[in-house]
Amino acid sequence: MKAEVINPFLESARSVIEQVIQISPSTGSMGVKEVVPLRDHIWIQVGMTGHFSGMVVFGLQENVALRIVSAMMGGFVLTEMNEMGQSAISELGNMISGNASTILSNQGFAVDITPPRVITMDVIHAETGPRKALCIPLLMDGIGELDIQVMIS
């Protein structure tokens, strides 16, 4: 697994979060870990084809996703992850992935991304089987953590 693949997603996520919710996230420790289903999480899956093939998954605890969506909506507080919330969190994944694919393209890597899907970890696990992912958390003060997981072949 190539660490340079996750860097554009990390750079993009930091930039998009700063723009959208006005918080400068800090970076946790990068590592490789087994993808494990976590039931209290919202997962945004984006497929990748081209020079790199696989998927990128953004994981958030549901309460963190609600805080981010509320910030994206100018402070309108959501108490449950309804269709509007899922659409907003999906768009966050789309913005991050789109910017990351542009960064990868500027580095000479031709990649295409699929539209984001908001799913449960059980679906990811069932679709891919046990897999290892290159992971790095983004820590957002007062909001929580966004986990970036890259699974490529």
* 92-128 pLDDT tens trace: 999 999 999 999 999 999 999 999 999 865 555 555 5
Across the chain, mean pLDDT equals 87
140: Cβ–Cβ under 8 A, 6 or more apart, which residues?
17, 21, 23, 25, 64, 68, 146
The confidence score (pLDDT) of residue 153 equals: 74
Which one has a higher pLDDT value, 153 or 57? 57
The confidence score (pLDDT) of residue 39 equals: 73
Percent over 70 (pLDDT), the chain: 89
Record the pTM.
Answer: 0.88
Question: What mean pLDDT comes out for the span 136-147?
Answer: 93
The confidence score (pLDDT) of residue 126 equals: 56
Work out the number of other CB atoms within 10 angstroms of the CB of residue 68.
25
Q: Is 90 exceeded by the pLDDT of residue 36?
A: no
The confidence score (pLDDT) of residue 34 equals: 81
CATH of the domain at 110: 3.40.1550.10
Q: Is 90 exceeded by the pLDDT of residue 52?
A: no
Structure tokens, 136 = 């790095």
Q: Which domain holds residue 100?
A: 3-152
What's the total number of domains in the chain? 1
Q: Is 70 exceeded by the pLDDT of residue 41?
A: yes
- Closest to 111 in 3D by CA, of 58, 149, 55: 55
Which one has a higher pLDDT value, 126 or 87? 87
